[in-house]
Amino acid sequence: MSLVTLSDVLQPALRDGYAVAGLVTLGWEDMRAYVAAAEAEDVPVILQAGPSCREHTPLPVLGKMFRHLAEAASVPVVAHLDHGYTHEECRTAIDSGFTSVMFDGSRKALAQNIAETAAIAEMAHAAGVSCEGEIGFVGYSGGEGSDGTDPDEAAQFASETDVDAMAISVGNVHLQQDKEGGLDQARIRAIEAVTQVPLVIHGGSGVPVAQRTALARGSKICKFNIGTELRMAFGQALRTAVNADPERFDRVQILKETHEPVVEATRRVLQAFKGA
């Protein structure tokens, strides 16, 4: 069984100079491909159930799917709740077999974010589960703007919440389809200087690949969340499969043809996070 916690995979990454990919799942086809890619690259992987995934599939079902894949995997697999917004949602994930929960209080005032995140971290730790928190709001491409992380607030947040990982806002944006941007390295260094907690970048699809590799090897950023670029790879593979034969209607046969393209796209993602 290769089911592990977030802390189990991030602490070695922090020590040895690499990062672990938090891969945003939407269904069985992509999560299965993600694990196959991680096995091919011989690296750990974090399977993430975000809000849109949870709208489609209930947490207890997702927990069983993640655990089933992890138990058969040859590499460490984390079952992670991404962007949990309430104490109850995080509790449900823990009860459903998740090994890591991310509470997102980044839209809240600092004191409230700290208080709520600390309570969820305490609950998670009591259950043997890791907790990720977020300080500084990460915006959305074409939507809400970001509010960058203040280093002093990050130090306070890390100290007072006891989180195992801290998501930060340093120029990253959710749902970005291109890689033309880049992260604010000066802000990253300022945050690193005042905390020892493994750092997390949400919206990793918008980060240039060379910068991903450089930061994985030379910073305290130990986790990059990747969703959009792999959803794009899945969508392209699905479109190709559907268009190849307009008469086909069996979705099992159609979806089979997404597997290898998504595995290959995922392998390229994972390769960028390996150490020197």
- In SS3 terms, 11-68 reads as HHHHHHCCCEEEEEECCHHHHHHHHHHHHHHCCCEEEEECHHHHHHCCHHHHHHHHHH
Whether 87 has a binding-site annotation, put simply, is: no
Asked if 198 and 14 touch (Cβ cutoff 8 Å), the reply is yes
Whether 104 has a binding-site annotation, put simply, is: yes
Distances (CA, A) of 204 to 10, 132, 137, 226, 264: 16, 16, 15, 5, 18
Catalytic residue among 82, 95, 162, 245: 82
Whether 134 has a binding-site annotation, put simply, is: yes
Whether 259 has a binding-site annotation, put simply, is: no
Amino acid occupying residue 169:
S
| Unique residue bearing structure tokens 């460490």 | 76
Nearest to 66 by CA among 12, 19, 6: 6
Q: What is the DSSP letter of 206?
A: G
Residue 82 is a catalytic residue: yes
Binding residues: 83, 104, 134, 174, 202
Catalytic residue positions, numbered: 82
Binding residues for Zn(2+): 83, 104, 134, 174, 202
